[in-house]
Structure 1
Amino acid sequence: MSIRRLPLPLLMTACVALSACQRPAEPPPPVETVEVASPEEGGAVSTAPVDVDTAPEPAPVTDPDPTAVDWAPMTLAGATASISCELDYANAGDGDVLSAFDHDALHAALEPCAERGVARLRFKGRVTQDFTRLVQRLASVADELKIGKRVLDIDSSGGMVEEAIRAGDVIAGTRWTIWVREGAVCHSSCVFLLAGGDTRLIGGRVGIHRIIRMSSSATTRAELNRELRAVYGRVRDYLERNGAAVAVADLMMAVPNRSLRILTPDELKLYGLDGVNPAQDDLDRLRLMRKCGQDFVARRDAYVRAFDSTCNAPDRDVEQMANCGLELRTKYGFPDEQCPTESPLSEFDLVDALAAAAGNASRLRILGVPIGEPRPAARQPKPAPARPAPADAASTAESPTASEPADAGDAATSEGEAETPIRD
């Protein structure tokens, strides 16, 4: 008898039996998207000219010279920048707001940080040409003052794509750690800055969407696509040379500019936008092998892996990750006697020594850990504070992530925010 001729009750029973044999499909992981303001208020905006007839493919991109500093007069319209010598922003704040950007003014702002060798730039605003100039100038003055550890503590909704690429290359050439702290965001073109950082600590929210061509003369979808192919080609080239996945550019293409696709912690790691920069890590391994030896590099690798698996958890705030990383170091023999400044989180050792020498051990604190006193063997992490809409990506000041962790025989390591050491 044909199934079509079965009585209705039998047919229904057969259908139910068949459906019972099928496994219910597992729902795909949730994808978070949010609506955003107009591109002029942030976004990923491209205005660079492209010739859709003769240059459908991207022209070769040359790395900017980080030493060629532009000291032309500048302002930070609609943005604020502060300099602090402290990594503990929760207790010490963000330092002094910069109001002048000439050499003498920036030298005076950074000079107090020279003794401990650590400086943090807190920047809130769009990515523009003046942002690129600011990072370039501060890196130049930091070199003069021998401040080797630099943190970009950023909160940005995006800006100009071409400037983000230029700024990212400057960041890559002048060795910055990047934080997106709790409550902060790194959206749109700001994501390109993450690719340039030596280490990325993310506690806030990182989002992407399509690049918009504000100066486009396209009248058809095909013409607009040819323009965007040239722009995205430059983006892919930039991501590739900085150790990030070019898949980020492809994912951007599928998200309307009026929306934001929020990247999950797993995606940030997958795309190479969180933790230690893989491209820089390859260079550092060679340098450390020559300077500190193979055993140091092996322990450092183990520490990084251990930090990533033990301390760098989405449910921890920056302070908890930092304390975890500091307590984890001793298991791997850090700070190292031969290479103390190359050891994970060495910036905290410098601050400890200075505080003890100044007799302020009882008053100063680094990320909630009393300076000059033995660090607790294993403190129970306090409950993470309620986070605002943007996950907080912040104060993981130089977390071991940057320094590569892994257990003595086990190890673990991209607008999330584990404490990672700032690279020299």
Structure 2
Amino acid sequence: MLKKSLLLLLCLLGAACQKAGEPAPVTLADDASTGPTTKVVSQPLPEMAPRDYLKTTYWPNAELDAGEAYISCDFDYVQYGDGERLESLSFFAVVDALTPCQPKGVVRLRYEGKINAGFAALVQRVAAIADRLEIPVRILDIESSGGHVEEAIRAGDSMAESRWAIWVREGSYCHSSCVLILAGGDTRSIAGDVGIHRLFRDQSKATSRAELSAELRDVSGQVRDYLMRNGADVRIADLMMTVANRRLRLLSTAELKEFGLSGSNAVQDDLDRIRLTRRCGEDFARRRDAWLRAFENECLEPGKAFEVLDQCGRSLEPRFGFPDAKCPSDNPTADRRGLPTGTAAKALLMPPLKLDAGTKSAEVVKK
């Protein structure tokens, strides 16, 4: 009797009413502004921590079942295109795709499709092989109308630990749960559209506003926690609960900056400076900050070749007391490929585009 009463209580709390073997409900933030959304396919994947991908060649089966991925070793997509299509997420397929990028130290992952478990596995596996091959620069060049919120959070947290730059290039878009991916990047360079709207549960059983709100309460809290730890404004979570799903609120250039979704990630910048100060001292960190500001003002221009940037950066070093024998590996141009490290290196990841400084309508309805 006691056992039955306990089970009934748990069911009333929503913790034990799910049928055995029934998949957990997923939360969607998928662009429905152009019509009904298509079901986002996402087969459950065995749990594997990102660091575990570095320890073994045996990876659980995973598929890109809601999008397509391409691997390029070049920044210039106008001249060189998007690279070779990645046909498989197996260990050896990813190794083969990234090996040509090892000499340049740059991999650009172009992804077009939905955010789901396959996408999360994609960014984790590309980062793992980039680590093994010592490819320091990783760029996610994305176009997505959204997908699963939980998988966007999983992918974004993974990217935050593996130092990605994210592009939404001119003509591309990042809508709905894709916006959460932006929060995970070290740098975010945006020339396309970024838009958000309300979350909803796949196969929701809600019959009232109260029930629908209860379904989304937990995931809304997860979104807020995720945004906070990645340096983005929690107001985004509020907007994702208020803008109707059939509408799309496009974020202006100013809003993207204000919400912490474009440019350098403030949390990562602070973390980098804390680590540098710990290793090399406050004076070293202060001088390096001054060098970075001079580099961005005097050297950094979109489309400049690496060798030109490197030469300009090196010419600035004596002005700020570099190279400094105290921390030779942390001197501004100490990167093994002769490129500035830290914030300056991240600034180099901006695509060769002239960003549109104009603002967009705060709310649009897709025709």
Would the TM-score normalized by the shorter structure come out above 0.5?
Answer: yes
Shift of 1:101: 1.9
Amino acid paired to 1:209: H
Describe the superposition over 1:343-374 as per-residue Cα deviations: whole angstroms up to 9, x where unpaired: 379687459xxxxxxxxxxxxxxxxxxxxxxx
Give the direction of change, closer, same or farther, for the CA distance of 1:417–1:328 in structure 2 (3 Å limit). farther
1:298 is paired with a residue of what secondary structure? helix
Decide whether aligned partners of structure 1 residues 284 and 208 sit closer, same or farther in structure 2, where only a CA change above 3 A counts.
Answer: same
**Partner in structure 2 of residue 343 of structure 1:** 332
Q: Is the Cα contact below 8 Å between 1:118 and 1:347 reproduced in 2?
A: no
Q: 1:41 to 1:215 in 2, by over 3 A?
A: closer
How many Å separate the matches in 2 of 1:310 and 1:235?
Answer: 39
Letter aligned with residue 171 of structure 2? G
1:76 matched to 2:61? The reply is no
Q: Deviations over 1:153-184 (max 9, x none)?
A: 11111111010000011111111111111111
Counterpart pick for 1:261 among 249, 254, 266:
249
**What's the counterpart of residue 18 of structure 2?**
none
Matched letter for residue 212 of structure 1? F
Map 1:10-409 → 2, pairs under 5 A:
35-40=33-38, 65-69=49-53, 71-291=59-279, 293-302=281-290, 319=303, 329=313, 332-333=316-317, 337=323, 343=332, 349=338, 400=344, 402=346
Which whole-Å CA distance do the structure 2 matches of 1:187 and 1:311 have between them? Answer: 33
Kept in 2, the 8 Å contact 1:299–1:332? The answer is no
What secondary structure sits across from 2:276 in the alignment?
helix
What letter matches 2:205 in structure 1?
Answer: S
RMSD: 4.0
Contact 1:304 1:401 in 2 (8 A): no
Consecutive unaligned residues in structure 2, runs of 5 or more = 1-30, 356-367
Distance in 1, Cα, partners of 2:316 & 2:214: 52
Q: Secondary structure at the match of 2:267?
A: helix
8 Å CA contact 2:66–2:115 kept in 1: the answer is no
Q: Distance in 1 between matches of 2:336 and 2:168?
A: 19
Give the number of aligned pairs: 309
CA change 1:324–1:116 in 2 (3 A) is closer
Unaligned stretches of 5+ residues in structure 1: 1-32, 49-63, 352-397, 405-412, 419-424
Instruction: Output one character per residue of 1:112-133: Cα deviation in whole Å (capped at 9) or x when no partner.
Output: 2222322111111111101111
Describe the SS at the equivalent of 2:50: coil
Higher relative contact order (CA 8 A, sep 6+): 1
Of stretches 152-161 and 92-101 in structure 1, the one that deviates more from structure 2 is 92-101
Larger Rg: 1
C-alpha change, 1:180 and 1:133, in structure 2 (3 Å) is same
The structural deviation recorded for 1:250 is 0.9
Distance, in Å, in 2 between the alignment partners of 1:158 and 1:311 is 36
Q: Percent identity, aligned pairs only? A: 47
Cα deviation for residue 74 of structure 1 reads 2.7
